Amino acid sequence: IVYYNFTCHNEMNKNTENKTLIYYFIMCLISVFLIKIHLAGNGNIGQVVFLTYYCLTALPLVVIFVKGKNSRNLCILLCVAISVASTKRTGTIALILGIFVMLVLDAHIQGSLKEKWKRYMYLFIAICIGSGAVLYLENRSGLEIFDRFSKLSTDGGSGRDVIWAITLQAFNVSNLREKILGHGFQSVYYRLRPGGFSRFSHNSYIEYLYDYGIIGLSLLVLFVLFLIIIEIKFIREKNKYAPVMGMLLIITIFLSAFSYFFEESNIIQPIAVAYGIILGQAYKERKRYEN
C-alpha cells in the first residue's frame, strides 16, 4: 500500500535503477557464498539455501526498474544460475516458468506481427540457451539437477506431504471456533510444530487455514484472485506491465503453494513492493490517459 500510494503520485528516478542493481548484485554475491556452504554439506541445508530466494523475489523489481537490456538480462541469467545451483526445486520451477510467461506476454503485447515473431524468436533462443546451460551444469558440476526433480514423485517434495497431512489433521480435530477464526499467529510454527520441529507448513493456504481459520484462508484466496483478475485485465489491454505481473503471479502461486511465502515477511517483501509499484504506475498512467 505504501509503495502503491507513493508510485501513484511520484516518478521513479535514475537513482532507483542504480540502487536496484547494486542491491541485486549484493544479493547474488551473498547467495554464491551460501550455495558454497550448501554444496559443502555444512550448516542447515534448507535454511542456508532458502536465503537465495531473495534473488528470485527481487528479480521482478529489476525487470521494472532497470531499463538497460544487457543489465536486465545479466540479472536474469544470474538468478537462473543461482536458483539451479541452489537445488531448490520450487524456486527453480517458479523462476523458469515465470520467465517463460513474462517473455510470452511480452511478445503478446507487441503491436506489429513482425515484432511479435521477433520476440517469440528471442524466447526460442532463450529456451535453447537455458536448456544447454542446465545440461552443462548437470554434466560438469555434479549438482544432480535432474535427479532432484525425478525424486519429486517419491520424496513427497522433501516431506511436504507429511507436513501438510499433519497440519490438516490438526485442523480437522479443532473446535468450531478454531476452524473459523484459527489458532493464532504462526501457530503451525510455534505450537503445532509438525514432526516435532518449529517449521511452517510449506503451503501458505494450509498455513492460513490453521493459523487464521476459514475466514483467514478465504481472505487470502480472494486477494490472490484479485491479483489474477488484474493480470487478466492487463493482458486484454496489452498493458506494458502484463509481462512482469505475469512473472509475479507465477512466483506468488508457486512459492505460496509449495514453500514459505505469505507467512514469511522477509521473502514476500520485494514481491509486495513490486505489486505496489506496478498497480500504482498503472493507475497513474490510466488517469493521465483519461485526462
Number of domains in the chain: 1
Residue with the larger pLDDT of the pair 163 and 145 = 163
Evaluate whether residue 16 is within a structural domain: yes
Cell of 81: 544460475
- How would you label 215-233 residue by residue, b for 16+ Cβ within 10 Å and e otherwise? ebbeebeeebeebeebbee
Cell of 130: 537455458
Evaluate whether residue 31 is within a structural domain: yes
Residue type, 171: F
CA-to-CA distance for 49 and 37, rounded, in angstroms? 9
- The residue range of the domain holding 60 is 2-153
Evaluate whether residue 225 is within a structural domain: no
pLDDT grade for 19, boundaries at 50, 70 and 90:
confident
Cα 163 from chain centroid?
A: 21
**For the chain, percent of residues with pLDDT exceeding 70:** 84
pLDDT at 54: 86
Cell of 45: 541445508
Q: Which of 33-37, 65-69, 164-168 has the lowest mean pLDDT?
A: 33-37
Q: Which of 105-114, 133-142, 169-178 has the lowest mean pLDDT?
A: 133-142
Residue 104: is its pLDDT beyond 80? yes
pLDDT tens sequence across 258-279: 888 888 877 888 999 999 999 9
Q: What's the rounded mean pLDDT across residues 131-140?
A: 62
Evaluate whether residue 229 is within a structural domain: no
pLDDT at 113: 65
DSSP 183: S
pLDDT at 224: 95
Cell of 180: 473459523
Q: Comparing C-alpha atoms, which of 83, 57, 82 is closest to residue 252?
A: 57
C-alpha separations of 245 from 61, 80, 119, 122, 163 in Å: 11, 19, 18, 20, 31
Evaluate whether residue 48 is within a structural domain: yes
Evaluate whether residue 170 is within a structural domain: no
244 contacts 231 by C-beta, under 8 angstroms: no
pLDDT tens sequence across 219-236: 999 999 999 999 999 999
Average pLDDT, the chain: 83
pLDDT at 3: 73
Evaluate whether residue 129 is within a structural domain: yes
CA-to-CA distance for 11 and 256, rounded, in angstroms? 31
- Determine how many CB atoms are found less than 10 A away from the CB of residue 5: 12
The secondary structure element, H or E, covering residue 202 is none
pLDDT at 136: 63
Evaluate whether residue 159 is within a structural domain: no
Residue with the larger pLDDT of the pair 145 and 91 = 91
Q: Comparing C-alpha atoms, which of 215, 281, 280, 225 is closest to residue 252?
A: 225
Torsion sign over Cα 114, 115, 120, 124: positive
43: left (phi over 0), alpha (psi -120 to 50) or beta: left
CA-to-CA distance for 207 and 239, rounded, in angstroms? 34
CA-to-CA distance for 195 and 66, rounded, in angstroms? 44
CA-to-CA distance for 256 and 232, rounded, in angstroms? 20
Q: What is the pTM of this model?
A: 0.85
pLDDT at 179: 95
C-alpha separations of 135 from 21, 96, 245 in Å: 28, 15, 29
